[in-house]
Amino acid sequence: MRADNSAVWCISLEVPKDQLAIYELALEPLDGAIVVTNPDAQGMIAAKIYVDGQPSQEVVDQLLADTADIVGGTAPKATIEQLPDIDWVAESQKALPPIVAGKFFVHGSHVTDTPPEGSVPLLIEANVAFGTGQHDTTKGCLIALTDLAAERKVGSALDMGCGSGILFMAIKILWDCPVLGVDIDEDSVRVALENAELNKITGITGICGDGYDAAEVSESAPYDLIVANILAEPLCHMAPALEKNLAVGGVAVLSGLLIKQQEQVVKAHEAVGLKVIRELHLGEWSTLVLSR
């Protein structure tokens, strides 16, 4: 995704205020620290994303175009420039505070705070994989999983789009069951397994594959629990495959969708026989728990 890993680069763009959240999520795979201004008189927000290594203009433009197709309107124009030789990664890590979500205290190695009593610390560094715990979608999933662990048993689980591995580690801690993590990005799978090793968590399988079409997914199906923290459109598209791989009596935790996109995601899953049993809203984002 990046052509030069020797310097820090800045991606600059402007987005409408009401679309900022979805563009932030869409650009998460670039592993950048984002800084935004207040909206101007036209409701536009200037955003700068600082990344370690030169990003591909083609990749950035494609991410923005794909997002524009989802939210509507014209894709923002992004400019990319190299910054002076400063340790921007270290600086951006300092700006990442620890997060408490459900049972978990998610932090980077720079954090010296003492975890709250009774919480489980998870060490997650900012990296090439989405999921440092900072985003409301990840927080929502951690809270939903913590609540589910208090009321049901899980014998097997699938993390679809595992990113940094934060959710499949949480599942393993909460239920101590076999967990399969799948991501279409090879770097994400590598980082996820490294994070599991860093946190001394075993019994997790991570594979690079094309979603539910990956052979390993069907080989281990059905699952008592499926988690998918991706985006609304892919969630709708994957609804039939999720239902096919969910065990009788199983539950699914879905996130990555805006509250205003919730209705379309719910309808797609109701069409295959699933129903919402719980919903959680954090900021502009929704987390759904579904069952048969």
106-159 pLDDT, tens digit per residue, is: 877 666 677 668 777 787 865 543 444 457 888 999 999 999 999 999 999 999
pTM metric for this prediction: 0.69
Domain housing 143: 135-291
Q: Choose the final residue of a domain: 59, 92, 125.
A: 92
Statement to judge: residues 62 and 185 lie in one domain = no
CATH number at residue 221: 3.40.50.150
Strand partners, 228: 160, 254
Structure tokens at 209: 């594959």
Which burial class, exposed, middle or buried, applies to 234 when counting CB atoms under 10 A from its CB (0-12, 13-18, 19+)?
middle
Q: Are 243 and 271 in contact (CB under 8 A)?
A: no
Tell me which residue of 17, 13, 6, 193 sits closest to 85, measured CA to CA: 6
Statement to judge: residues 157 and 272 lie in one domain = yes
With the CA atoms of 87, 88, 90 and 92 taken in that order, what torsion angle do they form, in degrees rounded to the nearest 10?
170
CB atoms near residue 170 (< 10 Å): 28
Structural domain contains residue 114 = no
Phi-psi label, residue 234: left if phi above 0, alpha if psi -120 to 50, beta otherwise: alpha
Statement to judge: residues 85 and 167 lie in one domain = no
Q: Choose the final residue of a domain: 92, 124, 149.
A: 92
Statement to judge: residues 82 and 141 lie in one domain = no
Query: How many C-alpha atoms does 86 have within 13 Å on its Cβ side?
Result: 10
Statement to judge: residues 153 and 228 lie in one domain = yes
Report H helices in the chain.
Answer: 20-26, 57-71, 88-94, 136-149, 166-175, 186-198, 215-220, 232-245, 262-270
Domain count within the chain: 2
Q: To the nearest whole number, what is the mean pLDDT of the chain?
A: 86
Structural domain contains residue 126 = no
Tell me which residue of 103, 7, 104, 8 sits closest to 50, measured CA to CA: 8
Tens of pLDDT, residue by residue over 158-202, are 999 998 889 999 999 999 999 999 998 888 898 889 999 999 999
CATH number at residue 35: 3.30.70.260
Structure tokens at 270: 């109701």
Structural domain contains residue 100 = no
- Per-residue pLDDT, 119: 78
Report H helices in 97-183.
Answer: 136-149, 166-175
254-274: average pLDDT: 95
Statement to judge: residues 277 and 147 lie in one domain = yes
